[in-house]
Amino acid sequence: MTTELYFIYDSHCPWSYAATPLVNALQQAYPEMNVHLLHSAHYIGKDSAGEEQMQAAAKISGLKFGRDHLRYVNSPKNSIKTANLMGWVQSKQADKQLPVLNAIQRAHFIEGNPLNNKHDFNDIVEKFKLSPSNKVFKDELSMDAEYVLEGIAEIQEIIGTTDFPALVMSVDDNAIFIDHSQYLSDPQAVVAAVEKEIAAIKSVKN
């Protein structure tokens, strides 16, 4: 059985932050599963999700948002450099992508790090022993990030929505669309739901 997990998200989106624990839970339950973290590069410095969405995500998920994030929650966000870094990590050191994403979200949503310039990423780059080129920290999307966007477009065509965050799991030739909104308050519940889906797929095959 070959399993793949596709997570479409934006590093600066509070709902994506709330959905990441589901990805963590699924990765722990299926350690052999290939995980693809697909950064949508939605925020380009013109707007933000804002306090209302953040409060809603916090209420449902129970996740904490730091005081330093709250202070600038309505300021425009730019996730392009993060999309570039995550594209690079997926291309060069894919085994680190989920821990790096967790660290990035902690830096942004708890510590209030805007992740706007190269300096903002220093601690994460050092912690995970990454060696991205300076191109990653430019204001335009890198080739790796553009490649990720192409993959997102293909998945969105299959699932029929451009909404994010989005979670899709493939089991051999079968796709399971995971409604993340049902599990934000209990990430472990997504594992039980996926196990039922996989059991149903196996029973059909047999």
Query: pLDDT digit string (tens) for 25-41?
Result: 999 999 999 999 999 99
Residue 59: partners with Cβ closer than 8 Å, 6 or more residues away = none
How confident is the prediction for the chain on average, in pLDDT? 95
Cα of first residue to Cα of last residue in the chain, in angstroms, is 13
What CATH number should be reported for the domain whose range is 3-205? 3.40.30.10
What is the residue extent of each domain of the chain?
3-205
Backbone angles phi, psi at 4, to 5 degrees: -135, 145
Split at pLDDT 50, 70, 90, the class of 204 is: confident
Is the whole-model pTM more than 0.85?
yes
